[in-house]
Structure 1
Amino acid sequence: MERLSLTLALGDYEHTRDLATGQVPVQGVSLNVLTLAPEEAFFRFTFFREWEVSEMSMGKYVSLRSQEDKGITAIPVFPSRVFRQSMIYVREGGKIDRPEQLKGKRIGIPEWAQTAVIYSRGYLTHQAKVPLGSVEWVQAGVNQAGRVEKVKPKLPEGVRLRPEPQHSLNDMLLAGDIDAVLSARPPRGFGSGIRRLFPDYEAVEAAYFRETGIFPIMHVIVIKTDVLERHPWLAMSFYKAFEEAKRRSVERLSDITASHAPLAWLAPYTERMKNLFGEDFWPYGLEKNRTTLQAFVDFAFEQGVCHRRLELEELFPKQVLTSFKV
């Protein structure tokens, strides 16, 4: 049987490397892989759909789904997960030392629907008790002026969002025109006039996980829906391949025989991950991620990223929601 030729756009990740290099094949597929930075992949795929399978922003995906744009369909494979208390930036020498002090302030964001920003606003709203409407939100590029929203939000009543196309968040924070920045990518002035709100962010983030059970999912793998409808077996073929690539990666990271990365104590750190998150500390699939995914779609709806409340089962094809047993 002739294999289906497809292109996948994906970031450069240790846990997807064996799939990207072909060491782990995708059953039934002849795969061409484009290694792209997330911002480029998301922009090109959101607007132009240049390839069939892509890494995608979770925020963009749920927003499009809530607007009945079903041109792409996700499988529950999550290449990037990052806690986001580390991405709250303030001025060095400023008076803001606690998240609750951001109530009534001006906070800069690169995009309203950026996944990292959705999680950070969820944290500020639910843990720090900073209501969305108490903040003046300013949208701009982090280090370059001119960044625009990729999907249109449906802002809740009373929420103020002001685009600032002529300036960057970095420059506005240093100048005192805004009081904080939420950004996955550090502002250029970090360490030179800009600091993290939480210097010991790892401890804050671990405490957040213990309290909520949320391990934030940033990115998801999506397939063009018309391609998936013609070849419904693709969902499970890609899912199994990503699972196998991840399994091999974790096996390497846990191997104390030799250094698989230029880091001391990598294997013991992997054990720390297992102690906190469980044996499968980077899980794929819906059920193992239900707590995180439910919190995320709730945040997205509260913040107007989703135009309606989504059920989790709407996000993924039914063939990857269960697995066979032997």
Structure 2
Amino acid sequence: MRETRPTAPLSVLLGDYPHTRPLKDGTLPVAGVDCAYPESVPLPPAFARMVRDLAYDICEMPTATYLQARDAGVPVSLLPVVLVGSTHHRSLTRLPDGPELGPRDLVGRRVGVRSYGQTTGLWVRGWLREEYGVESSDVTWVTTEDVHVARYANPAYVERSGAGRVADLLRSHDVCAAVLGPKAIGGQGAGLVPLVADAEDAGLAWTERHKTIPANHLLVVRDDVLRTRPEAVLAVYRALKKTIDDTAGGRDDSPAGRAVAAGWSASLTACLEIAGRYALEQGLIGDPVDVAAIEKRTAFLDR
């Protein structure tokens, strides 16, 4: 694992979090590696650029997007880093003055979601099936964006809307409920309420049952970069792991705070196994996910 000649800076696309800022602002240089940190505001267009054009060397990526990219043969490998994660029972929302719907009431109804391939939607549909017996095909999923992986075709029960935001679908009564990601809940989703009355407790029960926390954003590296510059990839990983460890005291003890982690672990393995099963059940991918094969690609990082 030795680099034999000078190489261009690694392009590393990361969101803006306490555990990424020390790298992005140069407080913590990556040992022996020159890195460039391009910005994308908002982040989702960068995910599409990565899976469609391999636009970056290392890139933050939603869990569902990674699973779909892997299924489609996009040449990227997973690095064992969870940048964003949380429970998602509170992510299924309704209008506060609308009908008091429960999860089972969604059968035969329309639900808004940014994209059928959005990771929050993956986790929500997973617990809907697991805990309430609601299949993905029991609901019409109304989307405002396309999936990141271009070759993927949505199932017949997915409909594209011209609305700009998911919350707008709900407030215009085009849908009876809406799936909102962590940032959207406090933004466009302000004032909306969860369908699950005890959403926080239900989310904690999910984590206790599965011994993991749902990961929303992971990290991937282009296969050619992993093959030709493994030492540089290792250096980036070690630096990011250090910032995650160093900022642990500033994160609360909520699932979102505990989800951020670096390193292969029983929790990450369980998370990927469950996400892979959910993705297969929901028609997001066509083949079962071999987590052991995923881990084998970058197991050297933790040696």
TM over 0.5, yes or no?
Answer: yes
Equivalent residue number for residue 293 of structure 1: 272
Taking a change above 3 Å as real, the CA distance of residues 42 and 27 of structure 1, as seen in their structure-2 partners, is same
The answer on 1:182 being equivalent to 2:179 is: yes
The answer on 1:315 being equivalent to 2:289 is: no
Equivalent residue number for residue 242 of structure 2: 244
Pick the aligned partner of 1:164 from 161, 165, 168: 161
Equivalent residue number for residue 11 of structure 1: 15
- Deviation at residue 89 of structure 1 after TM alignment: 1.4
- Deviation at residue 61 of structure 1 after TM alignment: 1.3
CA distance in 2, matches of 1:154, 1:43: 15
- Deviation at residue 317 of structure 1 after TM alignment: 5.2
Q: Is the 8 A contact 2:77 2:220 kept in 1?
A: yes
Pick the aligned partner of 2:28 from 21, 24, 30: 24
- Deviation at residue 65 of structure 1 after TM alignment: 0.8
- Deviation at residue 200 of structure 1 after TM alignment: 5.2
- Deviation at residue 188 of structure 1 after TM alignment: 2.9
Secondary structure of 1:310's aligned partner: coil
Equivalent residue number for residue 259 of structure 1: none
> After superposition, what is the alpha-carbon deviation per residue over 1:18-52, rounded to whole angstroms, capped at 9, x for unaligned?
22233333233111223434223223333343332
CA RMSD of aligned residues (A): 2.7
CA distance in 2, matches of 1:113, 1:154: 10
Q: Is the 8 A contact 2:78 2:298 kept in 1?
A: no
Q: Which has the larger radius of gyration?
A: 1
Pick the aligned partner of 1:203 from 194, 201, 204: 201
Q: Which amino acid aligns with 2:52?
A: F
The answer on 1:43 being equivalent to 2:48 is: yes
> After superposition, what is the alpha-carbon deviation per residue over 1:38-90, rounded to whole angstroms, capped at 9, x for unaligned?
223223333343332111122111111112222x2221111111221121111
Segments of 5+ residues of structure 2 without an aligned counterpart are: none
Taking a change above 3 Å as real, the CA distance of residues 20 and 165 of structure 1, as seen in their structure-2 partners, is same
CA distance in 2, matches of 1:277, 1:10: 18
Number of matched residues?
Answer: 293
CA distance in 2, matches of 1:281, 1:66: 25
Equivalent residue number for residue 33 of structure 1: 37
The answer on 1:284 being equivalent to 2:262 is: yes
Q: Is the 8 A contact 1:89 1:196 kept in 2?
A: yes
CA distance in 2, matches of 1:77, 1:318: 14
Equivalent residue number for residue 303 of structure 1: 282
Identity %: 23
Matches within 5 A, 1:77-88: 77-88=81-92
Secondary structure of 1:121's aligned partner: helix
Q: Is the 8 A contact 1:106 1:178 kept in 2?
A: yes
CA distance in 2, matches of 1:7, 1:228: 13
The answer on 1:121 being equivalent to 2:99 is: no
Segments of 5+ residues of structure 1 without an aligned counterpart are: 141-146, 254-265
Q: Which amino acid aligns with 1:197?
A: L
Equivalent residue number for residue 96 of structure 2: 92
Secondary structure of 1:14's aligned partner: coil
Q: Which amino acid aligns with 1:188?
A: Q
Q: Is the 8 A contact 1:106 1:137 kept in 2?
A: yes
CA distance in 1, matches of 2:164, 2:240: 40
Q: Is the 8 A contact 1:214 1:295 kept in 2?
A: no
Q: Which amino acid aligns with 2:123?
A: Y
CA distance in 2, matches of 1:124, 1:298: 14
Q: Is the 8 A contact 1:103 1:135 kept in 2?
A: yes
Secondary structure of 1:29's aligned partner: coil
CA distance in 2, matches of 1:277, 1:160: 31
Secondary structure of 2:200's aligned partner: helix
CA distance in 1, matches of 2:256, 2:161: 40
CA distance in 2, matches of 1:209, 1:203: 10
- Deviation at residue 303 of structure 1 after TM alignment: 1.0
Q: TM-score, normalized by length of structure 1?
A: 0.80
